[in-house]
Structures are given as C-alpha cells and as structure tokens.
Amino acid sequence: MQARPTFRPDTWRKSSRSGVNGGGDDNCVEVNFFADQPVVGIRDSKQGPDGVPLVFGPLAYTRFLAALKAGELKGC
C-alpha cells in the first residue's frame, strides 16, 4: 500500500467550474497538484482540511476529466 501524499493545506484551489448552474457555494470542488509526488488530489470543499481527497495519478486524472467532459459520469 502506498503512503498518502502530503500537501500544504494552502495549495488547494477551487475549480473554475464550481458553483455553476445555480449551485452556489455548496458545489465546490478543490484540486491540489501535490508537490512531492506526481498525483492530483480532488476534494469537496465542504469537508475542509479534514476531508479525504480522491487521489489520481496523471493518466487516471486525465481520463477522469475526459469522462466528466463527455458526460459519462452521471451525477457528477
């Protein structure tokens, strides 16, 4: 099992697509590109710093974004 990546709490940034379609501030997704490993973290901003992010490798992150843009992930 791999260790959970470390990140600085102040490096999370809100997605430019958060809160669109009348979602307000309740639908905020934050992204973190970890400095010490080639991974990307995604979390729900409502969970705050204690929330556990989804962690993707570069290829998986690229495929995840492509699936979102193509509408393949219903409910996302």
pLDDT tens readout for residues 27-59: 688 888 877 778 888 888 888 778 888 889 989
Cα-based angle 63, 69, 72 (whole degrees, multiple of 5): 75
Whether the Cβ atoms of residue 42 and residue 28 lie closer than 8 Å to each other: no
The residues, ordered by sequence, that sit 6+ positions from 58 with a Cβ below 8 Å of its Cβ are 38, 39, 40
| Sign of the torsion angle spanned by Cα atoms 76, 12, 14, 56 | negative
Please give the Cα distance from 8 to 10 (Å, whole number): 5
Does the pTM exceed 0.85? no
CA 71 distance to own-chain centroid: 17
